[in-house]
Amino acid sequence: MDLNEALAKDRWIGRLASHLDDFEALLDGQGYAKTTVQQKIKLLAGFSAWVERQDVPLSLLGEEDADRFLTELGLRPRRGDAWTIRQLLRYLRDTGGVPVLLPEVDTSAKGKLIDAFGEFLRKERGLSASTLTNYLPIVRGFLDEQFGGNDPDFDRLRVGDVHRFIVRRAQAGSPGRAKLVVTALRSFLRFLQQRGLLATDLAVAVPGIAGWRLAHLPKALPAEQVERLLASCDRRTPAGRRDYAVLMLLARLGLRGGEVSALTLDDLDWDCGEIVVHGKGQRLARLPLPADVGAALVDYLRQDRPACSTRRVFIRIKAPRRSFVSPSTICCIVHRALKRTGLTPAFKGAHLLRHSLATNLLRRGASLVEIGQLLRHSQPNTTQIYAKVDIAALRAIALPWPGVSS
């Protein structure tokens, strides 16, 4: 059968035919419009026929076959066609329709060492998966530069090798990225010495990156601009009610973007009027839930949050109905609200509202200790930066300019 004919016919043929009815039901449950589901299934009927014609075993079916199919189709693919086929492949792997593709394992001495370092960070240091995602590529890059394709020989490693690697990375990125490189490399070198792979403590020779704490003012919005930001949400729409609830959590409780994204239905304790926050370092904290924040959450949960398998509070408005892919979605919500209100601060991420809350509380008389408790800072000196915006207190201790009478 011709591929174009397979796309046009409302019938299932080929090796994937038995799975398409269930996959169609899954798409319906994810909130796709009826016409969108029909378009997706029609495309997948053609893909099923193509798999049959090409005699592709299901055990070998992968994303590269989707690309080949769309190329050989001879038509201009619609936006999202490749994603539709990848959706089907993910569904088939989840349900056992096709084998799960195992990640390629690096069995070299270098790969095993990186895996051991990752296990050390996770189990002994208690670091999060996101931290490992940041650290391990840096370590792999260091080993690649020093030893190429050979097994690591740390007896050859010298202080100058470490310095040159850091300088190259520091010149290629931001100061924050350079600090991450230094931290990851210092941790790796200590790991090597602890395991007896490195005789000299090279970690002490890792230089610091110039970056002075408290060297800048926290970027914040005045209280009236925060209220304008909240008022910009059209609460007559589902997206507006969801975004308003997100912004209220940021603006009233000072939550981080990742903390809002990770919030689950189980974290809302309505009986006690509290919210459980999954903070940095895998720490949990219970915060009181203000009435206006709770009301915003109730409006969204009752009217707009769809029934779905995830327990996350905030769900995509458009299909597929699932939780946010990453905390960057929270930053996008803040950015859109700033654009609606015509505000153009230098920093436009979710942390802007956290800084704004702390700054406005300080100006209204809250102490740094109280602000640190609300923001859940583990170290008191983290809160010190907000002392720089307390102009009244600074004026009282400022020394007169030499030669000028006060």
pLDDT, mean of residues 164-190: 91
The single residue of 280, 283, 286, 311 carrying the catalytic annotation is 280
280 catalytic residue (yes or no): yes
The catalytic position among 256, 316, 321, 348 is 256
Tell me what pLDDT residue 60 has. 87
**CB neighbourhood size of 215 (10 A):** 8
> In the sheet where 284-288 sits, what is the strand order?
268-269, 274-278, 284-288
Angle at which helices 351-363 and 223-231 pack, to 10 degrees? 140
**pLDDT value at position 130?**
81
CATH 1.10.443.10 domain extents, the chain: 223-351
CATH architecture observed for domain 223-351: Orthogonal Bundle (1.10)
Confidence at residue 250, expressed as pLDDT on a 0 to 100 scale: 97
Residue 286, strand partner residues? 276
Token pair in block for residue 223: 């209280």
Question: What confidence category does residue 10 fall into, taking pLDDT thresholds of 50, 70 and 90?
Answer: very low
- In this predicted structure, the answer to whether residue 7 has a pLDDT above a threshold of 70 is no
Task: For domain 16-95, give its CATH number from 1.10.150, 1.10.10, 2.60.40, 3.30.450.
Answer: 1.10.150
Asked if pLDDT for residue 406 goes beyond 60, the answer is no
Residue 91 annotated in active site: no
Is residue 76 predicted with pLDDT exceeding 70?
Answer: no
Give the whole-angstrom CA distance, residue 5 versus residue 72.
Answer: 14
386 in active site: yes
313-367: pLDDT as tens digits: 999 998 888 898 888 999 999 999 999 999 999 888 999 999 999 999 988 888 8
The domain made up of 109-205 has a fold known as DNA polymerase; domain 1 (1.10.150)
- Cβ-count burial of 171 within 10 angstroms (0-12 exposed, 13-18 middle, 19+ buried)? exposed
At a CB cut-off of 8 Å and minimum separation 6, what does 52 contact?
A: 13, 14, 15
The lowest-confidence range among 65-79, 168-182, 307-321 is 65-79
In the chain, CATH 1.10.150 covers 16-95, 109-205
Give catalytic status of residue 339 as yes or no: no
